[in-house]
A and B are shown apart, each in its own frame.
Chain A
Amino acid sequence: MGQPEGQFLAERWHAANRGASDRAPLSAEKSLNGVHTWQEVYQAAGPAQRVELLALAEHQGLLYGHQLPRPTNGRPTDEVRQFLKHVLSTGVRATPPLRAAPIRCPGLNARQTEAVARALSTPDICLIQGFPATGKSTTAAEIVSQAAGRGERVLVVSPLAAATDRILDLMRGRESVCPLRCVARNENPDALPEYSRSLLFGEQLRRLQSQAQAAAEARLAEAECRHAGLAADAGAWPLLMELADRHERVLEKSRDLSRRRASVPDAVATIVARLQVSGTREAVEGPAPEHDFERTILAGIDCWNQAQQLIDRSLAEIANQVQSCKEHLARLTAEQNALAPLAEAQAGGRWWKWAWWRAALHGNVTAQAADLQARILQGKEELNSSEDQAAHVHSERRQLEDEARAEQAGRMEQEIARRIAEIDAQDSALAAELSVVDAKRRQLQDCLHPETNRPAPAVAEVRAAMAKWQHLLEASSQACAGSRAWAEHLRRDPEVLAESLRTCFNVFAMILTGSASDPAGEGFDSDATFDLLVVDHAESITEAEFVATARRCRRWVLIAELTSCESGMSAGRPPAEHRPDRRPHKPSTPGFFQRLWTALHCDPVRLPYVWLREADNRLCCRLRSVSTEQRRWMEVERVADFREIELRIVAPPRGKAGSGDSFLAEVVFPPTMSIPDAKAYIFRELDEVPVRAVRHDVVWHESSDRLRMLLGPRPADTAQACLIPLADGVHELIVGSSDGQTADSDWHTAAVEFEIAAGWDRARAEAWAARHLSMTDLGRTSLLTAPCGCAVGLSAFLSDVLFDADFRDSSPHGGPQEECAVEFTAVPALPRGGLRPGRHGIRPPNGAGLEIDLSDSRQHDRLPAELRARIEATRGYVNYAEAQAVVRGLLKIARDFSGDRITAAGMGSHNGDSSHRLCLGVVALYPGQAQLIRLLLEPHTTALAAAGLDVRVDAPGGFHETEYSTALVSLTRSHAHRAVVFGEGPSALATALTRGRLRLMVFGDVGTLARRVEWRSSLDPLDEAAAERERAMVAGLLRYIRNEGKSQHAFRLRHDNGFTSVAPVRSVPTRRAVGREGSNA
């Protein structure tokens, strides 16, 4: 009694299921091996065991209990740690290769799209690494959006709040994403960007509550209004019904009149016929009809009857006369016939005949005969006369008959016309009545609710419309009740939406706090599990931090910025073994991400093959790395059938612990042997392809006739390329050694090509590469090397200087074409002509020594007194002259901008800018320099603001996840005589150089740059790898200063003697090149 229907249903449902489940323990939780579930067993199994188990299950359709591996005793190992342990210990063997299905990512370049595809298809882990400004955050946002679109719950974490917020911002407006920004305990919600703050649970709930409350009230008002409108129709229905009834009755009468009108001729004819039959009789037997028409008809009939009687009598008399004439003639004819023989005998005188005698007895027979003849003629005339008279009377009778009939027809027509006129009059009256009824009906219908059906004027129709109206009324009543209940619900319990809102989120973003138990803000369920974990800036997290978060997620995507720990990533240059001046260095310990990357990423540069010329000019191919200790055990053998070829085999003494087995380490060829011949020999004899790769990832390129596994930049000139045949339809394309004679660092393997005509496809080619190059791409890593969203010229410059990649504009929209996207201002100014090699000799000038080390108080005197006190608190180096140059540059931009000589668009503004404001980022490599520039700008703040410039000055660390359309970089360092590092390391330098989207202005001392390039070893505080990477960047920049850059057209060298002109800007940036200026973009 009184039990809610829902509760009853639920209880019934559970009771029905309980009936079965009470009798049997159906949960599979402790079902296998007594204590371990299948999940525990599977997760405890190693990768190889897992593969075996799945293969067996597929083969048998199921697995049998005894076929399961026995898990280790005790608590099952943590799945995440187990997986990481396998990956980090067994590397590429840990996980089976994966081929991601191609997907479409509008707005992303090919590398980013590939990264998204891999991240979405991985069953376990995917690593994405890239240089600054290669679109990692964009890629992360795309991964999250697409995963959310597939119905997955995604957790986005980053040690940097700005990175998390950037990803959220990039997903703004995506239909599939319903994000929640969770706040950690140590995070200040007020410090979040506006958009991220709006995604906090409290904010969203508050917004939702107010909007829902307003909508509910509005809906209630609307529903009540609608219901009232519909209910008001109730009184109209009886009237409409009555009118419909009247309408139908009038129509029926009208139809009856029509029928009567149609039957009038027949009715009149029937009357006439009846009168003709009965009228004559009644004329004799009964009274005359009362109606005029009938009386007239009867009179006509009587008249006709009388005339007919007279004529008939006359005809009878004439007939008698004719009869008597005929009889008289017959008698005369008989007499004549009797006299005729007598007269003939008499006339013939045949006295001997009896007839003569008889004639003689009769007297004058001849006369008698003549008399008879005359009488016959007379009789005939009389007969003819009588017959003529009879014909005449007949004719008269017909004439009279026709006249009588015509008269009757005329009377009938008159009668018909009269009767039809009478019906028409009635019909007109009905039509008038109908129009009155219809007018009333229309008037009523006009007053009905717009949703109510307007019925046709028929009772059935009105009844049907009324039924529909009742249904509508009922529905509106329900809607009203529902709206009222909902509005009341919201008024009474504002928290009612919290539960619903929690279930809506599918993307949870937070900073990585290092502890999974740290409540990351309201709305976040600490026990929640996720389908996908996306970790941005994974290079900064530890394994413990990762494990704490990853154990609640099914799949993981780690995105990291390329750091100095990834040694040798400066592609295009030979690996470390090639450097002649190797010195012991202190290698930095690779972080958690880098260890994973090393284990999972297929990096061709890490292949052990090394080609070098020995002192005696022999060509040496090193197949395996040989340690110093192993080199002591190296034995030399000569090839029996080719004595000039020398095999160097490492043969450790037997019993030596940890020494391993013997292996062929090097093959040495005679000086005359070319590289192609040597390579062909090694492949033929050893089944190996000792490539010299310069790419750090494997990229497959498919054309109509061949598949290419790209291992280095393609040759600009085919004359530099050489194809070395390997297997059937397989060639190695090397570049820079067309004659095959050079064996030093100036050649590389561009690709291994597979001819499709020879039957090669991707799978077969990959298998071939795995066998002959020991390279297997697990499909779980992606390396982003192409600048993303920059102007074409700037992209080309950055690609050359930072990434050293083979830049091709792969952005879907293409960047704006700017003539000079990069400007370098030399401080101090260079002599006119710059540093062209061969002019002043190769050696560049020394550094100008303009830098001031803030840690050395003795140097502070070189700063103006008014600035000194305000600078001392900061750290690092300052360069007063360079700071002044930067300020001059900014003021010049301000003048040009305010004077409309350049536009915001021209300076690289984008959607975020108005045409009156321009945001610029000034990146100084040291906080002290940033502070100095700020101080120097202070007097000009008003002028800059008035000119429409918003300038932000900071060190590289302050520009994470922030990009500007135009960036000014102050390199700061200007040492007089030695090589120095630029900033905190190569990452900071890369960050500084990549903050501009469309335009980059660099300020620096060319002499210091040149000195830095000359130094090829570790440089305090950088380890060797980081120092090399920084050196490569500086060298790249110096190439452009020397006018030797690959994309020199995008570069302009300026001198710090004031801006004499502003670089012409010829294009308007496209949307692609646009970020959100001056904020977390």
Chain B
Amino acid sequence: MKAAASELPPGPKIADWMEQLKDRQPVSIRVGNVILHRVDALVFVTTLQRLDSLSAHVLNLLSVEPHPLSTERLGVILGLPPEVTRRILSALLDDGLIIVGEDSLSSKKTWSIPSAVRPIPGTGYRAHRSCERRVLTFLECADAARPAQYVNVCGPEWGEPVIDNLGGLNFKRADIGVCIRQSLEWKQRRGFPLDIAALCESSPRIPPWQSVIINKPERCRVLLLQDTEGFHGFALDRRDWSLHSVRPYFTLADLDAVECFPGTDSVPSEVDWRRAWQDWMKSHGLFGSESSAVRLQLNGTRLRVQVPETMRNRLVELLNKNGGWLAVASAAFHTLARVEIDNALPS
């Protein structure tokens, strides 16, 4: 439970953060290291495109015809050369706007509009599928058995690249597919791009090199601030613990935060705080029965401490000097609380 000294920010630095983030009303604050996978992958993206007039007319025509039309018939109706008719139909077929059938008598191809698409023609738009590379960010889960969790990170790289022990990382190619298959509500909550339809695999049209996924894992220092909206992740500089920006790099709902950072749904117990308090006292040369004769009470990000009168002045002096922040390790993070000396206990 005890964190190494180097894993904890100095008290004044925490005070700086709190000053910078004073507009927020934190319920809890945590600091810790996470591994962030920046995954650059080729994906199918579905976008709405305006239909050209002729295609729209073809769709309109097919939608009002009681029976599927053959290519030849359509060509006659539209007055188009066969090759142009075929190309238009082929493009519409590729976009899934029409379906191809076969005439039972002549065995010729026939074209019609699938019932699912019927409302579309009037709109003059079509869903167009194209390939493009996107960067998706995943968090390495502390629980190795769980897949990496998608988190919508909005910010530049700020961590240090992970180049060793790559076999221990649990991001897999399939994790992208898992996200793509999630519900619309999940995607909206997590900020997963809604237009990504599938992961591109290599095919005759897509050379193998294009479908290669590039992962840039980085070890990042994160300040996780919980308020009424959820959990906000702020980037911390690895060298001096300074805050990169007062804008969060990612935001997670409580539900998602628990999935991404197991353990964030609970706070350290009083026993943990007491132990941390005693360790802190020891580290500052305060021994004896007096150190244990304190009362602790956690209130949000503040830890109210009642100490004997004999210790009070010394403690106040120490806290003023060091910023007065206490940390308790839980899972991958350290929960921080500001120590406030309350009324003295009777001696």
Q: Are A27 and B214 in contact (CB under 8 A)?
A: no
Q: Are B209 and A50 in contact (CB under 8 A)?
A: yes
The 0/1 profile, CB within 8 Å of B marked 1, for residues 183-213 of chain A is 0000000000000000000000001100111
Q: Are B60 and A482 in contact (CB under 8 A)?
A: yes
Q: Are B135 and A26 in contact (CB under 8 A)?
A: yes
**Is there a chain A Cβ closer than 8 Å to B300's Cβ?**
no
Q: Are A486 and B57 in contact (CB under 8 A)?
A: yes
**Is there a chain B Cβ closer than 8 Å to A946's Cβ?**
no
Q: Are A21 and B193 in contact (CB under 8 A)?
A: yes
**Is there a chain A Cβ closer than 8 Å to B346's Cβ?**
no
Residue of B nearest to A64 (CB): B215
Task: Kindly identify, within residues 1 to 47 of chain A, every residue whose CB is under 8 Å from any CB belonging to chain B.
Answer: 4-6, 9-10, 13-14, 16-17, 19-21, 23-29, 31-32, 37-39, 42
Of A471-479, A608-616, A701-709, the one with at least 4 CB within 8 A of chain B = A471-479
**Is there a chain A Cβ closer than 8 Å to B168's Cβ?**
no
**Is there a chain B Cβ closer than 8 Å to A830's Cβ?**
no
Which chain B residues border A23 with CB–CB below 8 Å? Answer: 152, 154, 191
Least Cβ distance of B66 to chain A in Å? 7
Q: Are B133 and A213 in contact (CB under 8 A)?
A: no
**Is there a chain B Cβ closer than 8 Å to A718's Cβ?**
no
Q: How far is the CA of A211 from the CA of B79 in the complex (A)?
A: 5
**Is there a chain A Cβ closer than 8 Å to B83's Cβ?**
yes
The 0/1 profile, CB within 8 Å of A marked 1, for residues 58-86 of chain B is 00110111100000000011111111101
Which chain A residues border B212 with CB–CB below 8 Å? Answer: 38, 42, 53-54, 57, 62-63
The 8 Å CB contact of B84, one of A6, A19, A26, A501, is: A501
The binding surface of chain A is classed by DSSP as helix
Q: How far is the CA of A32 from the CA of B123 in the complex (A)?
A: 39
A20-B193, A482-B64 are known contacts. Are A10 and B134 too (CB-CB below 8 A)? no
Q: Are A6 and B122 in contact (CB under 8 A)?
A: yes
Task: Kindly identify, within residues 211 to 262 of chain A, every residue whose CB is under 8 Å from any CB belonging to chain B.
Answer: 211-216, 218-219
Q: Are B152 and A24 in contact (CB under 8 A)?
A: yes
Q: Are B52 and A499 in contact (CB under 8 A)?
A: yes
Task: Kindly identify, within residues 457 to 510 of chain A, every residue whose CB is under 8 Å from any CB belonging to chain B.
Answer: 472, 475-476, 478-479, 482, 486, 489, 496-497, 499-501, 503-506
Q: Are B205 and A64 in contact (CB under 8 A)?
A: no
Q: Are B123 and A54 in contact (CB under 8 A)?
A: no
Residue of B nearest to A497 (CB): B54
Task: Kindly identify, within residues 12 to 40 of chain B, every residue whose CB is under 8 Å from any CB belonging to chain A.
Answer: 38-40
Residue of B nearest to A62 (CB): B213
**Is there a chain A Cβ closer than 8 Å to B217's Cβ?**
yes
**Is there a chain B Cβ closer than 8 Å to A151's Cβ?**
yes
Q: How far is the CA of A511 from the CA of B61 in the complex (A)?
A: 39
**Is there a chain B Cβ closer than 8 Å to A832's Cβ?**
no
The 0/1 profile, CB within 8 Å of A marked 1, for residues 253-273 of chain B is 000000000000000000000
Q: Are B48 and A28 in contact (CB under 8 A)?
A: no
Which chain B residues border A497 with CB–CB below 8 Å? Answer: 53-54
Q: How far is the CA of A437 from the CA of B191 in the complex (A)?
A: 70
Q: Are B79 and A62 in contact (CB under 8 A)?
A: no
Least Cβ distance of B266 to chain A in Å? 28
**Is there a chain A Cβ closer than 8 Å to B285's Cβ?**
no
Least Cβ distance of B205 to chain A in Å? 7
The binding surface of chain B is classed by DSSP as mixed
Q: Are A5 and B122 in contact (CB under 8 A)?
A: yes
The 8 Å CB contact of A496, one of B53, B65, B79, is: B53
Q: Are A175 and B82 in contact (CB under 8 A)?
A: yes
Q: How far is the CA of A333 from the CA of B49 in the complex (A)?
A: 135
Residue of A nearest to B60 (CB): A482
The 0/1 profile, CB within 8 Å of B marked 1, for residues 105-124 of chain A is 00000000000000000010
Which chain B residues border A150 with CB–CB below 8 Å? Answer: 204
A497-B54, A500-B54 are known contacts. Are A20 and B152 too (CB-CB below 8 A)? yes
Which chain A residues border B94 with CB–CB below 8 Å? Answer: 151
**Is there a chain B Cβ closer than 8 Å to A420's Cβ?**
no
**Chain A: interface residue total (CB-CB under 8 A):** 73
Q: Are A53 and B209 in contact (CB under 8 A)?
A: yes
**Is there a chain A Cβ closer than 8 Å to B153's Cβ?**
yes
Most buried by B among A19, A28, A38, A475: A28
Q: How far is the CA of A663 from the CA of B21 in the complex (A)?
A: 76
Q: Are A62 and B134 in contact (CB under 8 A)?
A: no
**Is there a chain A Cβ closer than 8 Å to B216's Cβ?**
yes
Which chain B residues border A4 with CB–CB below 8 Å? Answer: 124
Least Cβ distance of A199 to chain B in Å? 10
**Is there a chain B Cβ closer than 8 Å to A178's Cβ?**
yes
Q: Are A482 and B61 in contact (CB under 8 A)?
A: yes
The 8 Å CB contact of B88, one of A10, A26, A504, is: A504
Most buried by A among B80, B136, B152: B80
**Is there a chain A Cβ closer than 8 Å to B246's Cβ?**
no
**Is there a chain B Cβ closer than 8 Å to A313's Cβ?**
no
**Is there a chain A Cβ closer than 8 Å to B242's Cβ?**
no
**Is there a chain A Cβ closer than 8 Å to B149's Cβ?**
no
Which chain B residues border A60 with CB–CB below 8 Å? Answer: 166
Q: Are A20 and B123 in contact (CB under 8 A)?
A: no
Q: How far is the CA of A5 from the CA of B134 in the complex (A)?
A: 30
**Is there a chain A Cβ closer than 8 Å to B330's Cβ?**
no
**Is there a chain B Cβ closer than 8 Å to A61's Cβ?**
yes
Q: How far is the CA of A20 from the CA of B189 in the complex (A)?
A: 9
Which chain A residues border B195 with CB–CB below 8 Å? Answer: 17, 20-21
A19-B194, A20-B191 are known contacts. Are A212 and B78 too (CB-CB below 8 A)? yes
Q: Are B83 and A177 in contact (CB under 8 A)?
A: yes
The 0/1 profile, CB within 8 Å of B marked 1, for residues 60-101 of chain A is 111111101000000000000000000000000000000000
Which chain A residues border B288 with CB–CB below 8 Å? Answer: none
Q: How far is the CA of A316 from the CA of B272 in the complex (A)?
A: 129
**Is there a chain A Cβ closer than 8 Å to B90's Cβ?**
yes
Q: How far is the CA of A60 from the CA of B79 in the complex (A)?
A: 54
The 8 Å CB contact of B134, one of A28, A177, A216, is: A28
Which chain B residues border A62 with CB–CB below 8 Å? Answer: 39, 173, 212-215
The 8 Å CB contact of A215, one of B50, B79, B125, is: B79
Q: Are A500 and B55 in contact (CB under 8 A)?
A: yes
Q: How far is the CA of A54 from the CA of B212 in the complex (A)?
A: 8
Q: Are A61 and B80 in contact (CB under 8 A)?
A: no
**Is there a chain A Cβ closer than 8 Å to B239's Cβ?**
no
Most buried by B among A24, A175, A207: A24
Task: Kindly identify, within residues 113 to 148 of chain B, every residue whose CB is under 8 Å from any CB belonging to chain A.
Answer: 122-125, 132-137
Least Cβ distance of A590 to chain B in Å? 30
Q: How far is the CA of A218 from the CA of B78 in the complex (A)?
A: 10
Q: In the complex, given contacts A10-B123, A476-B64, what are 8 additional A-B residue pairs having Cβ atoms less than 8 angstroms apart?
A: A17-B47, A19-B191, A23-B152, A23-B191, A54-B208, A66-B163, A504-B88, A505-B87
| Closest CB pairs A-B (n = 4) | A215-B79, A65-B216, A28-B133, A500-B54
Jot down 25 A-B pairs with beta carbons below 8 A, ordered by A.
A6-B50, A6-B125, A10-B50, A13-B48, A17-B193, A17-B194, A20-B188, A20-B194, A28-B134, A28-B135, A31-B214, A38-B214, A57-B213, A63-B212, A63-B213, A65-B38, A65-B161, A175-B86, A178-B86, A208-B79, A215-B78, A216-B79, A486-B57, A497-B54, A531-B205
Interface residues of A (CB under 8 A from B): 4-6, 9-10, 13-14, 16-17, 19-21, 23-29, 31-32, 37-39, 42, 50, 53-54, 57, 60-66, 68, 123, 150-151, 175-179, 207-208, 211-216, 218-219, 472, 475-476, 478-479, 482, 486, 489, 496-497, 499-501, 503-506, 531
